[in-house]
A and B are shown apart, each in its own frame.
Chain A
Amino acid sequence: MRGLLGAAGFVALLEAAPRLGLVPAAYLPPASRIAAALGEEVRHGTFWVALLDTLQTWAYGLAVAVVCGVAAGMLIGSVPLLRVLTSSTVEFLRPIPSVALIPLAVLLYGTGRTATLLLVVYASFWQVLVQVLHGVADVDPVARDTAHSLRLSPWQRLRTLVWPTALPYTVTGIRLATSVALILTITGELIIGTPGLGKEIAVAQSSGAVPAMYALVVVTGLLGVAVNLATRSGERRLLRWHPSQRVAV
């Protein structure tokens, strides 16, 4: 209830500030004009094409990052020697800001989807990998010894011991990667010019269509909220059995 009040207050502030002249309307159009611009946008096919482009780039990038991150994490995490050998390299590569790769991506792949995908995959891969590594390292020593005495095969051990332990961490990694991938998708579109919502924002900005630009920014925000809510509920469903998801009684 209070939350609705807060949201209403925020919209009212956005409406009132430019109308009362507190902020020049040229910089911040009133909320009603942003809403009108949004209504105008959704009637055009280009908006939906851009939205679909953004979602596709995001989904491809995320899928590649998750598959590679989980596979690499399971492999590196299960072999102690690999873990020791790679840790310094992972620690070095991870903090490299993915946007540093933008000029490289443009040169090698032009302004197409591949250039943006490179950024998306690079940024979200590390989120997944690091979490999976933490997860694999967290296997209970007693359970591991038990599996050893029961002579479980490597595959059985992976499926019944390592995977359930690492799953909550992996899911956290995927949740982080999901929002990082969305940010980088829109960044790539904005800076590189890959087709999508980010490019539409850049076009609106350079053509001076201020309300339309704000409308598209609002859409990216709503997209972000939707993605956050979806991953959080997916996490709850997938980890229903896990102690961290139990409700206190």
Chain B
Amino acid sequence: MTQSDQPVENLFELQNLSLMYGTVIGVNDLQLTLPKGAYALIGPNGAGKSTLIGLLTGALRPTLGNLKVLGENPRRCGQLQQRIGVCPATDLLIHGVTAHQWIVQLLRMSGWRKSEAIPRTDQVLEEVGLAEARNRPIHTYSLGMRQRCKLAQAIAHRPELLILDEPFNGLDPIGRYQMSELLIQWAKSGKSLLLASHVLHEVERITDSFMLIFGGRLLASGTAGELRRLLADLPQDIIVQSQTRDRLASLLAEKPWIRAVHRDAKPNRLILTVDRPLELYESLALWASSGQVSVERITGTDGDISTLFRLLISRHRGERAYQKSGASS
């Protein structure tokens, strides 16, 4: 068999994958095939990201359906674990152990000889910027250092696929930047990556391929641009700051794409619920240029991922109207 005849090894193959925690749905009927590459798994807390990671790593057994990771069933193939690195979301709370001791031990648990594990640990701690602190107990590290330590253990055994769950949690801006740089380098090196996060903009620098998960269901997938276009087509809340608030409100009230107009307690502010935001922007530009109204500021909810999820869920359920609780006209 020549190389071209060999079947392409996908990163993930999920077929009707479901997992139930008793009567609670963890993930629901996931159907997905992805080639190797870097992906972000986006979803609010409790969406099913960690459960999906548990299934992909073989820690959890699906209730229904099948899955393959790098062509193997993670529950049945122990060798697959050599090809996966996992960085969990939970904080690293180990007392009385240095990062060096911990990673050497984990490498030996992966089947490495001590003579190989020690230099590799030195190398990987250097890569994540913990070389200076390698002999300090982990419990004395800052949160950012602990995150990097978790990343170090995940990449130490040179996996082909790196799975990270909320790697930016608790990091300060510098820590976020450093973590992003490390992950960008990883993705650039041609290795696969699955990055779970609840904040879209954090992962945009690292990958342009997204999967949106909510309520255990895969709602959408695509690039950031596609997701933003999707968001633009969906009803959303927009705040407009205007000196001519009342005039603007009366103009907007006539438009069919306006769902609700709310006068905010703050002066000169209108909160709008809009079906087609692009048409609002066009109209505002037209009215402002013709002097009918003044517009000082427009604040959208473009980056609010939870809004997008609510909207996608209501669309998924076939609901015609999206009602934001508390909104009034």
A binds B: no
Chain B interface residues toward A at CB < 8 A: none
Chain A interface residues toward B at CB < 8 A: none
